[in-house]
Structure 1
C-alpha cells in the first residue's frame, strides 16, 4: 500500500445555459419556466409597442418553442398587416376622391360610383381621411343637384312671365302700361337669378341637358319682353299723336282706332286672297301618314329606346317633307313636340350608355389584374365574360355604338379568354379519362355478371348480389363528368349490362313478390275469421320475416307490402281490444270505491301530514280487501260451479293472457232437477239487455298425468283418496280418517290460504279482480304515498339533528329533541345522559372529544377528514388489541354524550351531523 494521499477527482463543471439573445428584449420570455409565465411576459412586452421587425424576429424564434405564447405575437403582426392594408386602400381611394373633387367638372354618377366601389374594395369609409372626402363629395353632389333643380324652376318661371305678358296683350293698353314697371322688375330679377346659376362654380358639373334649357328659356323670355315693350311704347305714342302708327297688338290697335273715330280694322282691312282649298282626300292621306310615323316615334320615346327613337325621328322628318304642307296646325304642333322629346332622349341615352360601356371596359380589364389568390377559375371566367358581352349588347341596343370603347373591351375580353381556353383543354382531357373509366366499368360489370353473379344466384345469396350491384351503381355515379353526348352514348350500354347482371335477382324478386301476396291473402283470411288464432298469426309473421330476410326488395315496395300484410291483423287486434275495452268500460262498485280511496290517498300525500297519509293508506287497503258488492240491477251470481267447458270468447281471451297459477277446487255436482230448472229459466225468461250478467267463475281442472291414467278424464281432487298401491294410502274416508273434514275442500280464500288447521269451514271468498283503471290508480297512489312518507321521515330526521346541534351550540338542554323524535335507537336513559352533558359546563378536553368523534365515525362507517386519517387508523389498531372492550357501534351513545360535554366546535358539529344521519336512522 502506498502512503501517497488519495487524489479526489474534481467535480465536473455544471452546464451553464447561455441566455437567449432575445430574452432581454422580451423581458425574460425565453427563460421563463412555464408556458403561462412566458405568455404573460410576452403580453407585457407587447404593451410597450415594439417595432414590426422585432415582432417578426421574436415570432420566428418563439413559434418553434411555444406556439401558445407565440399566438399573441402573431395576432399583433396580423393586426399590423391589416392596418397597413387598410392604409394602402384608404390612400388609393383618397387619391381618387381628391381627383374627383379637384376636377372642374364632377359627374354625379362618378361620385356615387366612388362610394360604392370603395365599400366593395373594403376601404375604411368611416375613418379619416375617407370620411371627410365622402362628406365633401356628398356636399358637392348636393350642390349640383340643387343647381339642376333651380334650372327647372327658372324655366317654369320664364313660362309664367311669358304667360303674364300674353295676358296683358289681351287687355287695354293702359292696364299694360300700369303693370309695366312691376313686370320690368320681375324680368330683371329673373335675369339676375339666371346669371347667378351660370356663374356658380359647380355650373360646369351640371348635366348637359340643363344649360340649353336655361338658355332657351332666357332667349324666348327676352324676345317676348322686347316685343311687348316696343308695342306698348308705340301704343303710348299713338295715343298722344293721332298721326303715329298703331301698335301691332290687335286689341290695342282697335282701342286706339276707336278713340280716333276710325272704322274697325275688320271693315277697313281688305280681304286677303284665300288659299286654294286642299282636297279632303289629300289632307286625310297626309295626316294618316304623319300620324302613323308620329305614333312610332312616341312609342320609342316612351320606352326609352335611343336607337329606335333616332330612326323613328328620321322617318317622321322624311314624311313631313312630303306631307307637311297638307296637315293641320294642331297635328304640326304635336309633331314638333315629339321631335324635341326624341332629341333630348337621344342625347341623354348616348351619354348614359357611354357611362355603362366605360364601366364594362374597366371590369374586363380588371379580370387579368387580380392577385394570384383571387384569380377566377375557368368556369367562373367563362360565365363572367359571357355576362359582360351580354351587357355590352344591351348597351348597343339602347343607343348608338361607340367603336373606340368596343375595341378596348374586345381586347380585354380576348386576353381574359386565354384562361378559359386552358380550362377547356383540361376539361376535355378529364372527360376523355372519365369516358375510359366508364367503358372499363361496363366491361368489368359484364365479366362479373358471367362469373360471380351466377355463383351468388346459385347459392341463394340474394342480399350479396344486390349489395354488389349497388356498389357497381355507386361506382358508375362517381365515375366523373362527361359531356351529354358521351353520356347518351354510354348510358344504354350500362343499362344493358346492369340488366343482364340483375336478371337472376329480378326473377327471385318476382317469385318472392308472388309469395308475399299469398301471405297477405292468408293474413286477410285469418283476420276475417270469427276467432283470432294467435299461434297462426305468429307463424304467419315468422314466415313473412323469413321471406323478407331471404329476398330483398325495393325499400318503398317492401314497406308497402308489409303495411298491406300488417293492416288486416292490426284491425283484428284492434277489434279484439275494443271488445275487451267495452267489457272493462263499466266500473264495478268495488272499482269505484278503490278509485275514490286512491284519490283520497293522493290528496293526503299532497297535504304532507303523515297521519292523514297512513289513515288514507289503511282506507285504501280496506277498499282493496272489501267483498264484492253486486251492481244495482245485475242478476245475482250463481253459487254453483261454472260449466266444465269455457265459453268460446273466454277461451279466445285466455289464449292471449299469461298463464296464471291454477287453483284446484272441488266441483260440487248439482241435482238434475236444479239443472233442468236453470235451463228452463234461461229459455223462458231471458235476462234483460240492459242488465249486466254476473261473472261466471272459471274452474281449472287438471287432468291425470300419472302413468297408465286416461288423460281425457279429470283426476280426483289432490286431497282426496290415494291409490291403494302407494305408501301414503289412507283408509276409506280420506281426510275424515285423520280428523279433517273433507267438506273443507272448497274454494281457497284469495291470498289468505286456509284460516286454521282445526275446525276449518269453507274457504273465504276471494275478492274479485280489479279493473285496469282501478288497479293503476291504487298502485300510483300507493307509490306516491310511500314517497311522501319517505320525504317526511327524512325531513323530520334533519330537523331532529338540527335541534340537537343547536342545543350543543347554545348548551341549552331544553332544545334536545324528545326520545320519540330521536327514534328507537336512543332510549330515554341515553337521552338523559345527553341532557346532563349539556347541562353541566364543558369538561371534556379536545383530545377526548376528538377520540369520541373518531369512535363515532368508525361506528357509523363514514369517512374521516384527511388530516385525521392517521389518528383513525391508530385508534382502530388499538381497538383490535382490546378484546373485552365493547365496540364503538355498541357505545356510540356514550361517545355522543362525551362529545356534547366538550366545547362546541363548528367542524366537529359537521362531523357529528354526518355520523348521526347514519346512527339515528331507523333500520
Structure 2
C-alpha cells in the first residue's frame, strides 16, 4: 500500500533506503465471502447484483437478516432486495401458520361421522376471508375432500327423492294394472316383482352409504314412508292377484276384492254383476258454494297442466311428461277444493298414464315405431284413387325416416322393427324411382321440344327479315306466339333451363331485330313530335288546326308500329302534356277573367265571416241563423245573373240599332253613284255585316232566345217508376235508344273515336259543331248563374265546415249534460231534476218521461233480478258491451229471447226497461252501465 521514506538527514544503510512499511492494512468483511463479494464490490450496481445472485441460492432467514443489518448501513439500494425477501419470508411464515390452523379445522370436519353441510360450506368462505392459502397444500386437497363430501351428501339426498318418486310411480303402475283385465296384471307380475325388488335393493344401498348419517333427517323418514307404502300396495296386489287366479280356476272360490277382476270373473261364471250401493258414510258432503271466478281460474290452471301432460304422453316424451306430471300435481294440490270432479278424475287418469309412460318409455318408443311401420307398410296399400304421387311419396318417406331417427334418440333402438320399416320404405321408394324416371324422360322430351322451337324461330327469322305487306302488328303477334309456346313447353330442371335460356334469347333476339329497329326509328319520330307539341304548347296563341294535324300524325304512327303498351303510354303522356298545359292555361285565363271579386262574391264573403263570428260565440241559435244567411246569399246567384244578362242584352240591342242606322246612308250613296244596277240586297248585307261586327265587339256574350213553351200532351205513356208522377211523360235518356246515331251517317267519324285525342269542350268538334256538349247544341245542364270566385267559394266552404263541427260539439255537450242530470235525478230520486222532453230528444215521448218520473217518485224497489234483467235488455238494445261478470247472464237472456217470438224486442221496450232501473236503488256500477246505454239510445 502506501509507504513513507526515511528522512535524508538520518543516516541509514543502503538496504533501509529501499524498504517501505505499511501504516494501515485493508482487511476483508467477514460476510464478504458469504455473499460472494458483495461487501468488497466497488460500485452499487455490482453490490446489488451480487446480493441478488446470493439470494437466488435460498439462504436462511438468519443469514439474510445478518447481511441486511450490515449492508443497509452502507448501501440502501443493495439492501432493498434483502428487505423484500425478509418481508416475503414473514408472509410465508404467517401463511404457514394460517394453513396449519385451517387444515386442523378441515380435518376435524372430515373426521366427524355426521357432517354439517353448513359448516363444511362455510369453512372455505371463512378461510378465504382470513387469507389462508387455499391454492396450496394441504388446504387445496382438504378443500377438494370437503367439496366431495358435500357433493356426496347432496347426491345421496337427491337419490332419496328419486327413489321416492320411483316408489310413487310403481304404486301408480300397480293401481293402473288393477283397473285392467287380471290376465294383463298376471302377465306383468314378474316384471313388477323384479322392479320392486330392484327398488328395495337401491333403497337398502342408500342406507348403507357412508354419508347416510349426514343427510337431512327428513330424507330417511321420507324413504321409510315410501318403502312402507309401496310394500303395502305390492302385498295387496299380490294377494288380490293370487285370489283372482284361484277364483278363475275354482268357481266356488271367493271373488277378489278388485272390482274389475271380480266383474270379469262374474262374466266368466255367468253371474250378473251386482250393483252395490255406496255407503252413505263414503259419500262426499256437499261442497260450499264457491265463487265462479275462482272456480274458473282453478279449472283453467288445472286444465292447462292437464293438456300439457296429455300432449307429452301422446308424443311419448318420457322426461318432459315427468315434469308436466309434477306441474299437474302441484296444480291439483293448490286448487283441489275448487276443481270440478270430472276434471279431477281426468287429471288423475292423466297422471297415471304419465307414470306408466315414464316407467315404460321403451314401450312407448316401440309404439311410435310400430305406428311408423304401419304407415310405411300402408303406403302401397292405398286405393287407386288415393295413391300418393312420386313427389308426395318422396316427402312422406323422408319425413317418416326423420321421425324414426328422433324416436331412436329418445329410447333404445329396436333392430327388428327397423328392419321391417326399412324394407317397407325401400319397397315404397320404388314408386319414387319410377316417378324420377318419368320426370327424367319428360325433361328430355321438353328439352327436345324447346330445341325444335329454337330451330323453328331461327328458320322463321331467316325468311321474315321484314313484315309482309307492312303488317308489323302481325309480325309482333307471331313473336308473342313464339314466346307463349316457349313458356308452355314444359318443365325443365334449373341446370337444363340455364343451358337453354341463352340459346332461346339469341334466337328470339335475331327474329325480333327488324321490329326492334323499326321501333327505334318510331321512337325517334315520336320524340320529334313531342318536341313539336312542346313548341305548339309554348306558343302564345294555341293553333287548334296544328294540334289536330299533329295528333293525326301521332295516331298514324301508333297504328303503324306496335310497341310495348307501357312504354307507348309513357310517350303518349309526354306528348299530350304540353298540349293539355296549353288548354289548361286557356282555362285558367278564362277563370281569372271571371274570378274578379264581384258583388255576389263580396256578399258571400261577408256572410261567411258572419258565420265564423257566430262559430266563435258557441251559441247554436246564432250559428244556425248565420248558416241560413249564408245559404240565402248563395241562393241569390241565379237572380243576380238574370239581371246582369238582361242589362247586357239591352245594351247589345241598342248598339246594333245605332250601327245599322249609321251604315245605311253611305251604303245607299255608293250603290246609286257607282253601281246603279246593283240589287238592293247588297246594301242590306253590308249593313248586316257591320251590325254583326259591332255587336261582336261590344256584347261579351250572346243573348239566348227564350225557350218555347211545351205543348200539352194529349196521349202519352205515363211514367210508372216509383216516386214519379204518371201524369208526366217519362224523360228520355241522354244517350237515346240503342243503335241510334246522332253524329251523322254511318261511317262518319265521331268525337272520341281517336283514343289518343283528348276531348276538349273549348274547341270545335270534328263534324264542325260547337263543342259545348257531347250530343250537339243541347246544353248539358241548365243555367245556374255565375260561379263563385275561388276566395269566396273556399271561405263559405270552410265556414260551413266549422259551423257543422261547432254544432256537433254543442250537441255532444248538451247530450252529456242531459245524461248527467238524468243520473243525478236517479241518485237523489228528485223528479225536479229530470230533464224535459225537449232536452231528452225525439226518442223519449211525454208518456215515457211521465213513467220515468213515477219510477223516481216512488220508493226504491229491492228487486235485483228484475233490475239486472232490465240492464241486460238495455245493453242488448244499445248493442253496448256488458261487464265480464254479467256476460254469461246476457248470453242466457239472449237465448231466452230467441224462444219468445211474439214478445217485443229490447230495442222496442228500452224505455220501460229504463223505468224499471229508475225504480231500483242507485248503484254506481249500474249508473255507469246506464250511462253507456243511454248515450246510444237517446240519440236514436
State if a TM-score over 0.5 links the two structures.
no
Structure 2 length-normalised TM? 0.34
Question: TM-score, structure 1 length as denominator?
Answer: 0.35
